[in-house]
Amino acid sequence: MAAQRGIPSSAVRVLEEALGMGLTAAGDARDTADAVAAEGAYYLEQVTITEASEDDYEYEEIPDDNFSIPEGEEDLAKAIQMAQEQATDTEILERKTVLPSKPAVPEVIEDFLCNFLIKMGMTRTLDCFQSEWYELIQKGVTELRTVGNVPDVYTQLMLLENENKNLKKDLKHYKQAADKAREDLLKIQKERDFHRMHHKRIVQEKNKLINDLKGLKLHYASYEPTIRVLHEKHHTLLKEKMLTSLERDKVVGQISGLQEILKNVEIGHSYHAPEMKVGRSREKENTPEGPTQKGLREAREQNKCKTKMKGNTKDSEFPIDMQPNANLNVCKENLSPAKFDYKLKNIFRLHELPVSCVSMHPHKDILVSCGEDRLWKVLGLPKGNVLLTGFGHTDWLSDCCFHPSGNKLATSSGDTTVKLWDLCKGDCILTFEGHSHAVWSCTWHSCGNFVASSSLDKTSKIWDVNSERCRCTLYGHTDSVNSIEFFPFSNTLLTSSADKTLSIWDARTGICEQSLYGHMHSINDAIFDPRGHMIASCDARGVTKLWDFRKLLPIVSIDIGPSPGNEVNFDSSGRVLAQASGNGVIHLLDLKSGEIHKLMGHESEAHTVVFSHDGEILFSGGSDGTVRTWS
């Protein structure tokens, strides 16, 4: 019985110890939970009591079927008692025990104050408070339990403040993340815009390369007629070489015969022999002549005529009292608005090789064109029928210019000569030789007695038409002189050069009066406006400059590049400037508003441009051998 009474007391003791431990752990957990939210009592629905262990891991119970009793303790009563205790423990564990919840203990006020001071970092105040507080407690002046507790509202407030601080920290982090994301977005947008612009630029470059490739194909196709012309030239030269060798042998025989006749004359024989020689020569003249013999005979006759003319003519005098510029009144009377809406009207295929120059007749609706096929052609407008074709140069033609009266034409060529032509007959009446390299340009003086030319040999020359000789050579440029022009109704010359300068000369003395600097590349062309107040020039990078001729200062610079500007020309009113560009575009510059208009129609490079007398029609020549009319 004693054993039976002892079993429940030990079981209850074990249960209390186990429950004490569980309740302590549960109390700590509830203290933590109460700090978050105090909401009534908690109930334990099921409790499993196990042996106390160092860790909190719940081990599964392993049944021990081989129950053994240690040696030296083989007592039946003790064994029965242990078995009964184990059975009782098992019954207790199987029961569902409901334990009362532990009430939430609010925080004591002194702990609240201490926590507050620690939180605020007030260490000196905390030390004073603790020393004075515990001194009062020791003296018995105040008791710990009677002081009271901090209401739950303050605890909740502190928790909410902590939570608010945590939320603010999170908000700050989120703002930083948002700012960083915004910066990344802006950066990505900029990169997107950059790549988009780069893509557009690449597309533009691709289109430009496609256009250049088309132009190169056309340019390559234009070489085929050139090669055919060169083959024909080669065969012609071979034939001429053979004929020249035969003619040379004949001339050597004639010279030897003449030498014998001269010896006989010196000895004193009769003069019937030369008469018979003349008769024989006349008989030979009646016989058919070859092309080389005919050319030699014509050259001898021209040389005889030249020697006779030189003996009878004198040098022309430069005019002193010049006539007023008639274009001044024309510009004042022409008050109609400038025209820019030109459209391609006709295409005249005149040359097999590129057109180098087109020029208008000073009084009639007649146009002359020069090409690199050594030909110049006179066209009747507006139909474009060929009225006259001239040939005589042995190399490509570079420029042409009408005589002020309109009955003569001057042409310059790569064969280093300048030729004068009679337009009534179509014959060459005079040839000026003196340049050592190709001649780029030529121009007439307003009196009609002088022709000026510029050449690749870095010089310009002034030729006297009456005395048929070079009156003056202009030295000063350090590179090729690409264009030359007389100032209207004066003795002043304007030249442009590949040394990037413009020069103004006195034709009477051959002295350079002024040089204009400003271009950064080779100057291809320069011209006076009809009134003579302004100069226009263009260079190899497409830059066009306007100069004040009275002040000799630059007015404005217009960049239409990078394609080269080949030629510039004013209309009759002087308000519109046209430029022929290397990319095939004709640019029209409105000198009043500064606007630039483009005429697209050439399939390849545009070399030359000129206006009609009334400015209603524009003519342009290109490297494809065509002359195009715009109206």
Averaged pLDDT for residues 572-579: 92
Residue of 557, 571, 472 lying closest to 523 (CA atoms): 557
Query: In terms of domains, do 227 and 365 share one?
Result: no
Task: Return the structure tokens found at 602.
Answer: 């050439």
Of the ranges 239-243, 265-269, 422-426, 499-503, which is most confident? 499-503
**Do the domain assignments include residue 615?**
yes
The DSSP symbol for 490 reads S
Q: Give the percent of the chain with pLDDT over 70.
A: 74
- What confidence category does residue 314 fall into, taking pLDDT thresholds of 50, 70 and 90? confident
Q: Give the percent of the chain with pLDDT over 90.
A: 48
- Compute how many other C-beta atoms are within 10 angstroms of the C-beta atom of residue 621: 30
Query: In terms of domains, do 236 and 345 share one?
Result: no
Q: H or E element: which one contains 503?
A: strand 501-506
Angle between helix 152-267 and helix 272-286 axes, rounded to 10 deg: 140
pLDDT at 151: 65
- What confidence category does residue 90 fall into, taking pLDDT thresholds of 50, 70 and 90? confident
Inform me whether the pLDDT recorded for 17 exceeds 80.
no
pLDDT at 429: 93
- What confidence category does residue 477 fall into, taking pLDDT thresholds of 50, 70 and 90? very high
Query: In terms of domains, do 421 and 562 share one?
Result: yes
**Do the domain assignments include residue 439?**
yes
Largest CA distance in the chain: 198
Domain boundary among 245, 276, 295: 245
pLDDT at 325: 64
Task: Return the structure tokens found at 64.
Answer: 């021990």
Residue of 431, 437, 471, 434 lying closest to 456 (CA atoms): 437
Query: In terms of domains, do 218 and 346 share one?
Result: no
Averaged pLDDT for residues 52-74: 50
SS3 for 233-253, per residue?
Answer: HHHHHHHHHHHHHHHHHHHHH
**Do the domain assignments include residue 122?**
no
Distance CA 325, CA 434 (A): 32
Per the structure, how many domains does the chain have? 2
Averaged pLDDT for residues 39-57: 48
Averaged pLDDT for residues 507-529: 93
pLDDT at 247: 83
Domain boundary among 180, 215, 245: 245
**Do the domain assignments include residue 125?**
no
- The C-alpha angle with vertex 588 and arms to 585 and 590, in degrees rounded to 5, equals 160
Q: H or E element: which one contains 444?
A: strand 439-444
pLDDT at 282: 37
Domain boundary among 193, 224, 245: 245
pLDDT at 348: 93
- Quick check: helix, strand or coil at residue 200? helix
Inform me whether the pLDDT recorded for 576 exceeds 60.
yes
**Do the domain assignments include residue 39?**
no
Averaged pLDDT for residues 504-529: 93
pLDDT at 110: 77
Inform me whether the pLDDT recorded for 435 exceeds 90.
yes
The DSSP symbol for 197 reads H
Averaged pLDDT for residues 448-459: 94
Distance CA 102, CA 196 (A): 71
**Do the domain assignments include residue 624?**
yes
pLDDT at 417: 95
Query: In terms of domains, do 417 and 564 share one?
Result: yes
Averaged pLDDT for residues 239-254: 83
- What confidence category does residue 329 fall into, taking pLDDT thresholds of 50, 70 and 90? low
Inform me whether the pLDDT recorded for 260 exceeds 70.
yes
CATH of the domain at 450: 2.130.10.10
- Compute how many other C-beta atoms are within 10 angstroms of the C-beta atom of residue 354: 22
Contact present, 316 and 465 (Cβ < 8 Å): yes
* Residue range 263-286, pLDDT digits in tens: 888 775 444 433 333 333 333 344
**Do the domain assignments include residue 74?**
no
Q: H or E element: which one contains 28?
A: helix 2-36
pLDDT at 13: 47
Query: In terms of domains, do 416 and 544 share one?
Result: yes
Task: Return the structure tokens found at 629.
Answer: 């009319």
pLDDT at 545: 95
Q: Which domain holds residue 181?
A: 160-245
Query: In terms of domains, do 241 and 345 share one?
Result: no
**Do the domain assignments include residue 109?**
no
* Residue range 585-629, pLDDT digits in tens: 999 999 888 899 999 989 889 999 999 988 899 999 999 999 999
Query: In terms of domains, do 233 and 346 share one?
Result: no
Mean pLDDT of the chain: 80
Which residues are 417's β-sheet partners? 433
- How many CA atoms lie less than 13 Å away from 496 in the CB half-sphere? 28
* Residue range 532-550, pLDDT digits in tens: 899 999 999 999 999 999 8
Query: Contacts by 381-386 with C-beta closer than 8 Å and gap 24+?
Result: 381/612, 381/617, 382/346, 382/617, 382/629, 384/346, 384/348, 384/627, 384/629, 386/350
> What is the residue type of 575?
R
* Residue range 117-152, pLDDT digits in tens: 888 889 999 999 889 888 888 887 765 555 556 667
Say which residue, 178 or 143, is predicted with more confidence. 178
Say which residue, 8 or 170, is predicted with more confidence. 170
Q: H or E element: which one contains 385?
A: strand 385-391
Averaged pLDDT for residues 401-428: 93
Q: Assign residue 542 a region: left if phi > 0, alpha if psi is -120 to 50, beta otherwise?
A: left
- What confidence category does residue 157 fall into, taking pLDDT thresholds of 50, 70 and 90? confident
Query: In terms of domains, do 475 and 588 share one?
Result: yes
Query: In terms of domains, do 537 and 404 share one?
Result: yes
User: Which residues make Cβ contacts (< 8 Å) with residue 488, sequence separation at least 6?
Assistant: 325, 327, 446, 528, 530, 532
